[in-house]
Structure formats: C-alpha cells, structure tokens
Amino acid sequence: MRTLLKAGLLTLVSVLGLALCVDALPLPKTLTTTVFAGADAGSSLNLGDYSGKTLVLLVAGRKSYDSAYEQAVRLTKEWGSNAKLAAFLVADLGGVPGFVKGAAQEALMKSHRAANSRLPAGTRIPTFLDWEGLFAKQLDIVGECNEAYQLY
C-alpha cells in the first residue's frame, strides 16, 4: 500500500510540475499567418494550416534543440495518429549571424531527419526555421530558449 501511495504521489507531482512549466494560450495572429521555412529542403510551414488542432510548440535555441526534439518525438509517439493534436519544433534562429546561417541550417536539418526517422511511418514533427526570432518576440521569450526549450 505504501509503495502504491508513493507511486501515486510521484505521478501527481510530475503532472503538476509539467503543468506549471507549460503556457497555454491562443497564438498571436502574426504567428498563424506568417509562412516560415521548414527544416525539409525547400519546404515552408504555416501554423494557420493547422486550425482547429491543439498545437504543442517547442521553441528551442542552439543548445536546447536536441532535448526539444526528444520531447517532440515522445509526444508524437504517444499521440500516434490523433488528428486533433500536433507537436511542432520552432528553431529560434533570430540571433544566428549571417556567416554561419548555412551551417546552422544544415545542423538543424540533420537533427530534424534523425528525430523523424524514429517515428512511425506517416508521422512527422514539423520544424519551423524562425530566422527573424518572430516566435520569441511574439511570445515574449527573447533570449530564454537557448539553454532550455520553451513549451506552449
């Protein structure tokens, strides 16, 4: 009985901890109407195309990409083919200097391919390349997603 109680309490603490770290909000219109480059070569993405779904956005900076992809993979595997939910990775690239833009894009494309290769067939994690830092500006998180990704 004591072990069951501890397990229940640990689960409750974990769920509350996750709930406290996540912001739920309607996205600003700017983010739903802007077309962003995608991590697949030559692709573009628009959040407006996902109207009616619950979207989970993981906004990540240079040091937090890998952990954000891991979380997106876990969520996507858990949801399976749920048509009402979708996880997206937003690469916050607003501070990337122009002379390293190509190398940054190549590294992101590699991480994107690796994450999607671990998903069931027909399932993908769309990745937005936000070169202007628009997500960070609109969500008021400028400079906060490099060390740890932000979840919305």
Report pLDDT digits (tens) over 28-60: 888 889 999 999 989 999 999 988 888 899 999
Instruction: Tell which residue, 92, 89, 104, has the closest CA to residue 132.
Output: 92
**Which pair of tokens denotes residue 140?**
């008021």
Counting residues of the chain whose pLDDT is more than 70, the rounded percentage is 83
pLDDT at 103: 93
pLDDT at residue 44, rounded to an integer: 95
Phi, psi values for residue 125, rounded to 5°: -105, 105
Going edge to edge, which strands form the sheet with 150-151? 44-45, 36-38, 127-130, 85-92, 54-60, 150-151
Sequence-separated (6 or more) residues with CB below 8 Å from residue 65: 89, 91, 108, 111, 149
What does each C-alpha distance from 27 to 33, 44, 63, 70, 89 come to in angstroms? 10, 19, 25, 23, 15
**pLDDT value at residue 41:** 87
